[in-house]
Amino acid sequence: MSERKPLVEARGLVKSYQRRLGLFGPRGPAVRAVEGVDLDVAEGETLGLVGESGSGKSTTGRLLIRLLEPDAGSLRFEGEDLLALRPRELRRMRRRFQIIFQDPYGSLNPRMRVGSIVAEPLTIHGIGKSRLERKEMAAKLLEDVGLDRAAMDKYPHAFSGGQRQRIGIARAIACSPKFLVADEPVSSLDPPVQAQIVNLMVELQEKRGLAYLFIAHDLRLVEHISDRVAVMYLGKIVEEAPARALYAEPLHPYTKALLASTPRAVPGEPTPPALAGETPSPAHPPSGCRFHPRCPVAVEVCSRVEPALLPAGEGRKVALPFATNAEKPFDLWKKR
C-alpha cells in the first residue's frame, strides 16, 4: 500500500445474497459476491478496482461505505471501526465518504431542480446557516465541476449525460468528503466525455485532497487515474500492484487476459478477442483458483489449491496456486 496515511482499511470482507428459484420458488444456493476481500486506500490516492461484470466490484464499493452490511470482516475509516457505529453516528460519519453512481440519468431526482439536488446533502447534514447560504454553496459547487449558475433552476432532463454526471459529482463533494467511491462513473458516456469527467475528478482530487475507489471494467481507463490497481475475479482480489508496475508486467493470467482483451484507440488496429470462456456462476465457483477453467496456462495444482493473496515484491500482491515463496517475485509465473 502507499506510504501515505491509511484512510480506509478493509479486512476479510464477505457478502452473500440468497436467491429464489423462480418468483415463488424455494431459496437457491447463496451467491458469494465478495469473498474475503482485503483493501486499503490511503489519503489522497486513487485505487482502481477492475474486473468483468459480476466480479463483485460494486458490492465491494458499497461495503466500504456501509451502503451494504458485510456478513463478515472488519472495516475502519480513519482508524475508527465503521461497523461498530450506531445509525446516528453513521449518519454523521457519512459526510466524510460519498458515492458517485454509474447512471447519471437514474441517480438524479427528475422532480427536483439541480440547485436543490446539489444542496440536499448540505441540508441533511446541517451545513450552512441559512437556505440562502446553502443555495450559494450549491452554485459554487456547480462552478467547481464546470457548470454555470444558470443550471441551478433547471431540471436534470435539460442536461446531457456528461453534464448530469458533473451534477452528481457536485452533490457527492458537497459535504467536503475525504473518500469517494466512483462506481463505473463514466461507463455510460462517450469516450471524449469520459476523458473530460476523469480529468475533472483528477482536478478535484488535487484541489480537495480526495481519495477515490475508482471502479471500472476498462483497464485502459483506470490506468490514467489510478495510483494502484486491484483486479477482482468472482468475489476475490487476484492481483494488486502500483498502476505502472501492473500495466508494465501483469503477474496473474486473468490480469494479462483483461489487458489483452481491452480495445486500444489506435486507428486501423484490429479489435482484440474477448476473454475466452464464460465466467462461472458465483453460486458454484470452481475449486482451487477460480480462474483455472478459463486460464490458458493452468496446471493440475490450480484446480486443487485456492491461492492466498501473497506479497510479490515492490508493493505487489498476487494470488497464484503454484507461487509458494513470497520472497521471490514469482519467477515460475514469469517464465510461463
The mean of the pLDDT values for the chain is 88
- Please answer whether residues 212 and 225 qualify as being in contact, where contact means their C-beta atoms are separated by less than 8 angstroms: yes
Q: Is 191 exposed, middle or buried (0-12, 13-18, 19+ CB in 10 A)?
A: exposed
State residue 224's pLDDT score.
Answer: 87
pLDDT tens digits, 115-134 = 999 999 999 999 999 999 99
Q: CA nearest 105: which of 146, 160, 27?
A: 160
In which residue are the cell numbers 459547487 written?
A: 141
Domain contains 322? no
The tens digit of pLDDT for each residue in 213-258 reads 999 988 888 998 999 999 999 999 999 999 999 999 999 999 999 9
Tens digit of each residue's pLDDT (9 = 90 or more) over 3-38: 678 999 999 999 998 776 666 656 667 888 999 999
What is the average pLDDT across 286-294? 92
State yes or no: pLDDT of 273 exceeds 60.
no
Radius of gyration of the chain (CA): 21
Alpha-carbon distances of 140 from 62, 173, 174, 287, 320, rounded to whole Å: 28, 11, 10, 53, 49
Over the range 276-289, which residues count as b (16 or more CB within 10 Å of their CB) and which as e? eeebbebeebbebb
49 falls within a domain: yes
Mean pLDDT of 51-65: 95
Q: What does the alpha-carbon distance between residue 254 and residue 239 come to, in Å, rounded to a whole number?
A: 9
Q: Is residue 99 part of a domain?
A: yes
Exposed/middle/buried for residue 180 (C-beta within 10 Å: 0-12, 13-18, 19+)? buried
Q: What is the DSSP letter of 3?
A: S
Give the confidence band of 329 by pLDDT, cuts at 50, 70, 90: very low
The answer as to whether 170 is a domain residue is yes
Q: Tens digits of per-residue pLDDT, 84-120?
A: 999 999 999 999 999 999 888 888 999 999 999 999 9
Residue 160 lies in a domain: yes
E-strand spans in 4-129? 6-17, 31-42, 46-50, 72-77, 80-81, 97-100
Count: domains in the chain: 1
* Confidence (pTM): 0.90
**Domain-located, residue 89:** yes
Query: Would the pLDDT of 326 be above 60?
Result: no
Cα separation, 125 vs 133, in Å, equals 14
Q: What percent of the chain has pLDDT over 70?
A: 88
Amino acid (one-letter) located at 336:
R
Q: Assign residue 99 the CATH number of its domain.
A: 3.40.50.300
- What is the three-class DSSP state of 147? coil
Q: What is the pLDDT of residue 316?
A: 94
The three cell numbers locating residue 283: 453460486
**Confidence at 327, pLDDT banded by 50, 70, 90:** very low
DSSP assignment letter at 130: S
Cβ burial, residue 275 (10 Å; 0-12/13-18/19+):
middle
Write down the pLDDT at residue 76: 97
Does the residue 198 lie in any domain? yes
> What is the C-alpha end-to-end distance of the chain, expressed in Å?
27
- 3-state secondary structure labels for all residues of 224-277: CCCCEEEEEECCEEEEEEEHHHHHHCCCCHHHHHHHHCCCCCCCCCCCCCCCCC
- What range does the domain containing 93 cover? 6-253
**Residue 213 forms part of a structural domain:** yes
Q: How many CB atoms lie within 10 A of CB 48?
A: 25
Longest dimension (CA), the chain: 68
Q: Tens digits of per-residue pLDDT, 134-186? A: 999 999 999 999 999 999 999 999 999 999 999 999 999 999 999 999 999 99
Distance CA 148, CA 1 (A): 39
